[in-house]
Each structure stands twice: as C-alpha cells, then as structure tokens.
Amino acid sequence: MPRGTSRGTDPQRSALMKRVRQKGTPLEVEVARICTSLGLRYRRNVKSLPGSPDLANKTGKWAIFVNGCFWHHHANCRLATIPTRNARFWQQKFSMNRLRDARKIRQLECLGFRVAVVWQCELAKNRRIVGRLSNLAEARIVKAT
C-alpha cells in the first residue's frame, strides 16, 4: 500500500489526504457509529453524490445528512438561534443553507435515493436516553450484588 499507488501522490500527501477524509464532526462520527451498530454498510462523505452526503450507500440507494441545528437552521429548534449582531446577514445565510439542503435532497431523490436527515438535537436526546438507561442498568447491578 505505501509504495506504488497508482495515483502518483507521495505517501506523505496521501496519508494527509486520508486523515482529512476520515475527519468528521463528532456528530457524523456518532451517526456513523449508530449505523454500524445497526449493521448498515456505508461510505462517509460521498463526494460523487449531490451534496456529498455524510453517509451513503450507493448500491442500497440511501443517504444520510447529519445537520448541526444552528448552521442548517433546524425549524422550531431551540438550537437554531439567530445571532443578534448582523441579524439580517445571518437570516440570509440560514435561508440560503436551507434552500441548498432542500435542493440536494431533491437531487438525490431524483436519482432514486432515500434520504434521511439526522439533527444534532435528536442525537443529544438519544445521548440523554442512553445515559439514563445505562445509569439504570448500573444501579441495578449495584443493588444486585
């Protein structure tokens, strides 16, 4: 692997590229972990598809976007705040982001893909549930012994 790769990049550069490619936001990493635990097979950050979905399976024809509630301005979400400074700028930016998000979902659906959007706040809820249930389980162990 290290020598003689066909693309003609030097090993140092390709190692760097690999690191960049593998880097995801903690949210993406979390969703990837959930998918793995569900036995789903996927690729991360699929640039060959519209909108470069965070996770996708081209053969299975599905794609997942993991959206931060602030940047993608999740509707009716308390994390989707508008900064008071330069409020107009932010409002425009957020509405552009939402239009772009809707467009890439439509493009994928036109290609026959099923698309899911996972929101940051949903993961936070999930984390709380996992935390509460693991506390419950631990408490039971403590009582049992």
| Residue 99 phi, psi dihedral angles, 5° rounding | -65, -45
Q: Evaluate whether 119 touches 69 at the Cβ level (below 8 Å).
A: yes
Q: Spell out where the chain has E strands.
A: 43-44, 55-57, 62-67, 114-119
By the 10 Å C-beta count (0-12 exposed, 13-18 middle, 19+ buried), 67 is classed as buried
Options 77, 82, 117, 123; binder of Zn ion; rule CB under 5 A: 77
Question: Nearest distance from residue 62's CB to Zn ion, in Å?
Answer: 22
Cα distance between residue 27 and residue 120, in whole Å: 7
Q: Which stretch binds Zn ion (CB under 5 A): 56-64, 65-73, 92-100, 125-133?
A: 65-73
Options 42, 65, 113, 119; binder of Zn ion; rule CB under 5 A: 119
Options 34, 35, 121, 123; binder of Zn ion; rule CB under 5 A: 121
CB nearer to Zn ion: give 65 or 119.
119
Q: Evaluate whether 69 touches 80 at the Cβ level (below 8 Å).
A: yes
CB nearer to Zn ion: give 46 or 69.
69
Q: Which stretch binds Zn ion (CB under 5 A): 55-63, 82-90, 121-129, 135-143?
A: 121-129
Options 31, 69, 105, 118; binder of Zn ion; rule CB under 5 A: 69
Q: Where on the chain is the footprint of Zn ion (CB under 5 A)?
A: 69, 74, 77, 79, 119, 121
